[in-house]
Amino acid sequence: MTQLKFLDQPPRFLFFTGKGGVGKTSLACATAITLADAGQRVLLVSTDPASNVGQVFGMTIGNKVTSITAVPGLAALEIDPQAAAQVYRDRIVNPVRGVLPDTVVKGIEEQLSGACTTEIAAFDEFTALLVDSALTTDYDHIIFDTAPTGHTIRLLQLPGAWSDFLAEGKGDASCLGPLAGLEKQRAQYKAAVDALADSQRTRLVLVARAQQATLREVARTHEELAAIGLTKQFLVINGLFPQAETAQDPLATAIFKREQNALAAIPEVLSQLPCDHILLKPFNLVGLTALRKLLVDDLPVDGENKSSHPAIPFPSLSKLTNEIAKDGCGLIMLMGKGGVGKTTLAAAIAVNLAHRGLPVHLTTSDPAAHLSETLSGAMGNLLVDRIDPHAETERYRQRVLETKGSHLDAQGRALLEEDLRSPCTEEIAVFQAFSRIIHEAGKQFVVMDTAPTGHTLLLLDATGAYHREIAKQMDPSIVHYNTPMMQLQNPKQTKILLVTLAETTPVLEAANLQADLRRAGIEPWAWIINNSVAATTAHSPLLCQRASNELADIKTVSTMYAKLYAVVPLLQEEPVGIEKLLELSRSSQ
């Protein structure tokens, strides 16, 4: 075994949770191998929509318990959340097809198409693994790659008949209805939630990187789960840059110092958790040999023929900003998962456009974004502000409770209040605030950092919150109108830029977001691959190997997903301040 705290006397259930790209799948797989090598019987379960557990082990697993023949005592199972969600939706929607109007059925389908429903459906699949059953009796440990969110668990804890709540039309808020028709499984759900909250049986491992934004997000996750009883939590800081790799490489030195500064400023709630540090490895974490090395520090790096990596001249951010500037005005929206650098890139594009003498309004709704710190100054033609998501969400929540909730009984109001705590509620509220700004894009550039998902936009459309409501009120033969939804769907008015990293999981997550947007009739204009080692010069053997590893993911983006793309290099200094942001948006490599 190892000296790692999260592996000290491990309980039966271990959950690894964290944002895409932090390495939770690799850690879950390495932990499963470590326990199996120690003679334990282990079942590894993935509920990640972009699961690559099979790829990691070099074999096909799928939605059945499959023995990992090369590791005695280890078996794996990949639950397909999307397939589970479709079965789940069909079970709820099929009985009302032909009974309710098509428009109502379409609205119900969209209400059941979001992340909340997918999580519930996946939880529906693996609750049998959290209770005593014939399926789990042979295993000493069950390890889960990806845990349910606090919102999902609170939904499962709520009493009441969601099917009645939905059928009677009492809701119409955000993710309403993900528990419809599941009353018969309440007992099993309760047993599963009880197992999650039992620290003798369950340990939650929060996986993060040494980045300030990522650590702030993990702190929020910790507090949300602790508030509902999941208090036995451990923190793993993954992918830390080794100090030994900093010799004679300015980029490596800068990365090391940046990460140490982030750790020094770690949120207080995380500093109190048992914490392990896992060093960054130079190799891809695929195959048993690599996985067995993940939890071992001080591994030598094979520097043979890798003493230097010259920067590769990929398409640059400057080419994208040149194309954007040609339009003279328009809406520019940057979308992507947390931690990929949307705020910095939004600021760089806005500063570049303003420097050309074009009027620009830069705004964000990211609670962890600090645009003023990123800009570190003011400039002509640039208006900067921030939408407060908490204030907007509370305003929206109160409005719904005063209207939809005014005639509900206590049970119905409790269900509605929980529904209004979902991530989609915040997206809807923020989008309504954004909508007050969007119309400005006809006269100037409006650059937005952080935007709603395609599901949220479709939900707004399907429920009549915006597009349909305005369409009903306007007579197109008399009045020309342009709703926010129509503007987002118009490529002449809106350019969507998807931001990702040159790593497998973030690329898959961005691809899923693109598919989600296309379902809403919105076509992304370009992709930006941020913080690329391959796009810069490196001398550290570790960085040289990492640069080589990125090439496959960059090729995937350029050939499979993006019509236009740019690659932004990993920089020695953080691009803070107007001059550095201008340099970032102008640089060719």
Examine the residue annotation and report whether 21 is marked as an active-site residue of this protein.
yes
Q: What is the pLDDT of residue 174?
A: 47
**Mean pLDDT, to the nearest integer, of 226-252?**
90
Share of the chain above pLDDT 90, in %: 35
Q: What is the pLDDT of residue 461?
A: 59
Please state whether beta strands 66-67 and 74-78 pair in parallel, antiparallel, or not at all (unpaired). Answer: antiparallel
DSSP string across 333-382: EEE--TTS-HHHHHHHHHHHHHHTT--EEEEE--TT--HHHHH-S--TTE
Q: What is the pTM of this model?
A: 0.78
Q: What is the pLDDT of residue 191?
A: 79
User: Looking at the predicted structure, is the pLDDT value of residue 303 above 70?
Assistant: no
Question: Which candidate in 47, 48, 239, 494 is catalytic?
Answer: 48
Q: What is the pLDDT of residue 208?
A: 93
Confirm if 573 and 580 have CB atoms less than 8 A apart. yes
Q: What is the pLDDT of residue 301?
A: 55
Phi, psi dihedral angles at 58 (to 5 degrees)? 70, 35
- The owner of tokens 């959950």 is 15
**Mean pLDDT, to the nearest integer, of 561-575?**
93
Question: Nearest to residue 79, comparing CAs of 19, 125, 146?
Answer: 125
User: Looking at the predicted structure, is the pLDDT value of residue 462 above 70?
Assistant: no
Q: What is the pLDDT of residue 573?
A: 86
Instruction: Kindly report, residue by residue over 418-444, the tens digit of the pLDDT.
Output: 777 776 677 778 877 888 888 888 899
User: Looking at the predicted structure, is the pLDDT value of residue 34 above 60?
Assistant: yes
Tell me how crowded residue 173 is: count the other CB atoms within 10 A of its CB: 25
Q: How many CA atoms lie within 13 A of 479 on its CB side?
A: 9
Question: Which candidate in 18, 20, 23, 330 is catalytic?
Answer: 23
Examine the residue annotation and report whether 25 is marked as an active-site residue of this protein.
yes
Tell me how crowded residue 245 is: count the other CB atoms within 10 A of its CB: 21
Instruction: Kindly report, residue by residue over 159-169, the tens digit of the pLDDT.
Output: 444 444 444 55
**Mean pLDDT, to the nearest integer, of 247-265?**
93
Give the chain's end-to-end CA distance (angstroms, integer).
Answer: 44
The one-letter code for the residue type at 274 is P
Q: What is the pLDDT of residue 179?
A: 55
User: Looking at the predicted structure, is the pLDDT value of residue 559 above 80?
Assistant: yes
Burial code (b: 16+ CB inside 10 Å, e: under 16) for 190-199 equals eebbebbbee
The region that residue 287 occupies, defined by phi over 0 for left and psi between -120 and 50 for alpha, beta otherwise, is left
Examine the residue annotation and report whether 171 is marked as an active-site residue of this protein.
no
Q: What is the pLDDT of residue 458?
A: 60
* Residues in CB range of 164: below 8 A, 6 or more apart: none
Q: What is the pLDDT of residue 159?
A: 45
Tell me the range of 51-55, 217-221, 295-299, 455-459 where mean pLDDT is highest: 217-221
* Residues in CB range of 209: below 8 A, 6 or more apart: 21, 22, 23, 237, 238, 239, 339
User: Looking at the predicted structure, is the pLDDT value of residue 1 above 60?
Assistant: no
Q: Identify the band that residue 36 occupies on the pLDDT scale cut at 50, 70 and 90.
A: very high
What is the rounded CA–CA span in Å between residue 520 and residue 514? 10
Dihedral sign computed on CA atoms, order 375, 379, 382, 386 = positive
Q: What is the mean pLDDT of the chain?
A: 81
* Residues in CB range of 451: below 8 A, 6 or more apart: 333, 334, 335, 431, 434, 496
Q: Identify the band that residue 502 occupies on the pLDDT scale cut at 50, 70 and 90.
A: very high
User: Looking at the predicted structure, is the pLDDT value of residue 555 above 90?
Assistant: yes
Q: Identify the band that residue 589 occupies on the pLDDT scale cut at 50, 70 and 90.
A: very low
Share of the chain above pLDDT 70, in %: 82
User: Comparing 209-213, 272-276, 546-550, which segment has the lowest mean pLDDT?
Assistant: 209-213
The one-letter code for the residue type at 185 is Q
User: Looking at the predicted structure, is the pLDDT value of residue 227 above 90?
Assistant: no
Examine the residue annotation and report whether 146 is marked as an active-site residue of this protein.
no
User: Looking at the predicted structure, is the pLDDT value of residue 449 above 80?
Assistant: yes
Phi, psi dihedral angles at 570 (to 5 degrees)? -70, 125
Q: What is the pLDDT of residue 115?
A: 66
Question: Which candidate in 24, 281, 404, 580 is catalytic?
Answer: 24
Q: What is the pLDDT of residue 529?
A: 97
Examine the residue annotation and report whether 48 is marked as an active-site residue of this protein.
yes
Q: What is the pLDDT of residue 390?
A: 84
User: Looking at the predicted structure, is the pLDDT value of residue 213 above 60?
Assistant: yes
Question: Which candidate in 26, 66, 453, 504 is catalytic?
Answer: 26
Question: Which candidate in 18, 20, 25, 127 is catalytic?
Answer: 25
Question: Which candidate in 51, 505, 536, 537 is catalytic?
Answer: 505
More confident position, 207 or 187: 207
Q: What is the pLDDT of residue 166?
A: 45
Q: Identify the band that residue 97 occupies on the pLDDT scale cut at 50, 70 and 90.
A: confident
Domains of the chain, earliest start first? 10-294 (3.40.50.300), 317-586 (3.40.50.300)
Examine the residue annotation and report whether 103 is marked as an active-site residue of this protein.
no
More confident position, 48 or 267: 267
Question: Which candidate in 18, 19, 20, 21 is catalytic?
Answer: 21
Instruction: Kindly report, residue by residue over 107-151, the tens digit of the pLDDT.
Output: 777 667 766 677 677 777 777 787 777 777 889 999 988 766 665
* Residues in CB range of 219: below 8 A, 6 or more apart: 267, 269, 270
Tell me the range of 80-94, 295-309, 341-355 where mean pLDDT is highest: 341-355
Q: What is the pLDDT of residue 235?
A: 97
User: Looking at the predicted structure, is the pLDDT value of residue 339 above 50?
Assistant: yes
What is the rounded CA–CA span in Å between residue 233 and residue 205? 6
Instruction: Give the residues across from 360 on adjacent strands.
Output: 382, 445
